[in-house]
Amino acid sequence: MAIKLFSIIFFIETVNCQFQCKFDRPILGEYYSYENGLETHTSFKKNGNIDRLFYRRESGRGATANIITVLDNHALGECVYLNWKENPFRHVSKHHYQLIYRDKTKSCYQCFEIYNRTHNILQIRKSECDEVTSISTNQMNIQDLCLTINEEAEFDTLFLKTYSAEECRATIYGTYHFTYEFREGGIGICDNSISRLVSCPDPGTPFDAVNERFWMTYGYCRNLVSSIDAQPLYQCLGHWFNEKGDIFTAIANERVGSERWYDKFRCMLTRQDQPQWFAKSLFAECARLYSPTDGP
Ligand SMILES: *[C@@H]1O[C@H](CO)[C@@H](O)[C@H](O)[C@H]1NC(C)=O
């Protein structure tokens, strides 16, 4: 019985296997992410090529000392195998694409697990490129390589640059008062009565049935150096759940131009059982949000 089952699984995987990949939606596209402190631009091209550019942020010289970005690393690679992994016995947040990546300059293969969370968001984690992995056409090698990815490994979150807003209502709806705190540089919590998040249909527009954006008004706190006085307008890029009941919502600041990707994308965390709390990330990433009351 066990042997029979194995042969069925083997058969399905062989059928799905494509040894040259072509990308289509939901993977195809240009993405921005913040990975290990580097601004990252990823392009999944139609022909299966994967180009990634990594930039460091530095303060420039001279009186104006603006932040400049410096190219740190450039990775050119291609997809050699792509397969959709779905197991009806596992939570839907575990369904993902398995991609085998070949770097064009290094002799290694890496397994990428790609989770398409919404139309605008991919989350990725990968195996290491620390040893020479030779993949022939052997199916088991691919699975072995992918098994080296730790089940608990964190994801990088990729935001589609040509995103289209999605409904916010499922996770953020209504008016909230919030206090805020920056974990880096701040010393204390800013509780100004005008700080609020307003997520309601745009009044007076023909679109008042849809609710794809919300305002956050940050009140100023005198004693907090890092408190800010600003009113960003966020568009929702969709949400997803994990098996613990955490709800992640990706957002884009509509008032930030596309030349400032670093400031544009954020991730928010809420919970089904604690809808009054949320945490918002300081960067374009979701990995360091652990609970609604404990975000960076
Ligand atoms: C992710 O991709 C799979 C396979 O193409 C598709 O069935 C699923 O609906 C996608 N999920 C989202 C959230 O778009």
CB of 6 within 6 A of ligand 1: the answer is no
Q: Which atom of ligand 1 is nearest to the CA of 240?
A: 13
Residue 109, beta-bridge partner list: 102
Show me where the domains of the chain are located: 14-160, 174-280
DSSP 166-224: ---TTT--EEEE--B--TTT--S-B--TT-EEEE-PPTTSTTTT---EEEEEB---TT-
Please state which of the ranges 51-60, 155-164, 202-211, 226-235 shows the lowest mean pLDDT. 202-211
The residue contributing the CA closest to ligand 1 atom 14 is 118
CB of 83 within 6 A of ligand 1: the answer is no
pLDDT of residue 188: 61
Query: H helices of the chain, where?
Result: 2-16, 139-147, 261-264
Question: Cα separation of 63 and 199, whole Å?
Answer: 41
Distance 166 CA to ligand 1 centre (A): 15
Distance 202 CA to ligand 1 centre (A): 29
Dihedral sign for Cα 183, 185, 186, 187, please.
positive
Mean pLDDT of the chain: 79
What pLDDT digit, counting tens, does each position of 260-275 carry? 899 899 998 888 777 6
Residue 285 phi/psi, 5° resolution?
-160, 160
pTM surpassing 0.85?
no
The tally of CA atoms less than 13 A away on the side-chain side of residue 48 is: 16
pLDDT of residue 17: 44
Distance 27 CA to ligand 1 centre (A): 10
Best of 116, 166, 247, 249 for a ligand 1 pocket test (most atoms within 8 Å of beta carbon) = 116
Question: Cα separation of 116 and 99, whole Å?
Answer: 13
Contact 40, 262 (CB under 8 A): no
What pLDDT digit, counting tens, does each position of 91-131 carry? 999 999 999 999 988 878 899 999 999 999 999 999 988 65
pLDDT of residue 283: 83
pLDDT of residue 72: 94
Q: Which atom of ligand 1 is nearest to the CA of 116?
A: 1
What pLDDT digit, counting tens, does each position of 193-245 carry? 666 666 655 555 544 445 677 777 666 666 555 555 567 788 889 999 998 88
Tell me which residue of 139, 133, 42 sits closest to 81, measured CA to CA.
Answer: 139
CB of 116 within 6 A of ligand 1: the answer is yes
Q: Is the pLDDT of residue 14 over 80?
A: no
Q: Which residues contact 194 (CB under 8 A, 6 or more apart)?
A: 217, 219
Distance 230 CA to ligand 1 centre (A): 36
pLDDT of residue 176: 67
DSSP 60: P
- Pairing type for strands 109-116 and 274-280 reads unpaired
